[in-house]
């Protein structure tokens, strides 16, 4: 798919020779795209992938759990920023501010999945060791 995308994009660049972002916008079609053959294959595969993978109930459950973990931690750190590691606490000048929210979001975004689950457990499981 990547090879096809690159080859088709190179061909389109050669064909249209856009010289600016406005020229790309004015093409009336995407500059970066799969070849017609791969577009057809992708169109045929897409319903299968949505049914069996993207919208599978097990995937949806995991997405809901992940969303809950992130939301729980975000709200917890916004309410009690003193529970952040010291190097992150120092970055929060005004608790509850948009800047504090950005710092907390950055902290959470930097977590691996495994670390986020462990951190969530440490924060919310009363029997877990901190």
State pLDDT tens for residues 90-123: 999 999 999 999 999 999 999 999 999 999 999 9
The closest of 74, 2, 80 to 35, measured between CA atoms, is 2
- Please report the pLDDT score of residue 18 as a whole number: 97
Structure confidence at residue 130 as a pLDDT band (50, 70, 90): confident
Percent of the chain, pLDDT > 90? 92
For the chain, how far is it from start to end, CA to CA, in angstroms?
45
Whether residues 17 and 36 share a domain: the answer is yes
- Please report the pLDDT score of residue 27 as a whole number: 96
Domain that holds residue 71: 57-124
The angle that helices 113-124 and 57-79 make with each other, rounded to 10 degrees, is 60
Query: 0.95 cut: is pTM over it?
Result: no
Q: Using CA atoms, how far apart are residues 61 and 27, in angstroms rounded to an integer?
A: 41
CA 51, 56, 60, 63 dihedral sign is negative
Whether residues 71 and 37 share a domain: the answer is no
Residue 12 lies in a domain: yes
51 DSSP assignment: I
Whether residues 69 and 45 share a domain: the answer is no
């Amino acid at each position: 798919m990547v090879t096809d995308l690159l080859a088709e994009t190179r061909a389109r660049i050669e064909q249209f020779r856009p010289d600016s972002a406005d020229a790309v916008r004015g093409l009336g079609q995407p500059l970066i795209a799969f070849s017609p053959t791969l577009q057809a294959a992708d169109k045929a595969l897409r319903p299968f992938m949505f049914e069996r993978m993207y919208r599978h109930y097990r995937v949806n459950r995991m997405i809901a759990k992940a969303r809950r973990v992130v939301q729980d931690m975000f709200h917890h750190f916004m309410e009690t920023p003193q529970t952040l590691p010291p190097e992150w606490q120092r970055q929060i000048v005004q608790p509850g501010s948009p800047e504090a929210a950005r710092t907390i979001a950055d902290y959470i975004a930097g977590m691996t999945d495994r670390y986020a689950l462990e951190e969530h457990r440490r924060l919310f499981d009363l029997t877990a060791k901190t």
